[in-house]
Amino acid sequence: MLNFGSFKFKYMILKQKLQTFDQLI
């Protein structure tokens, strides 16, 4: 479960980076 939480956290950060990247374009 801890490993899944870490993956979910990384996914949230990646999603935020993609959103900011879309705003730059």
Structural domain that includes position 24: 1-25
Segment 6-23, tens digit of pLDDT: 889 999 999 999 998 878
In total, how many domains does the chain have? 1
pTM of the model: 0.52
Q: Is pLDDT above 70 for 2? A: no
> What local confidence, expressed as pLDDT, does residue 5 receive?
81
Segment 1-6 mean pLDDT: 74
Residue with the bigger pLDDT between 6 and 4: it is 6
**Up-side HSE of residue 9: CA atoms within 13 Å toward CB?**
6
Under the banding of pLDDT at 50, 70 and 90, the label for residue 1 is low
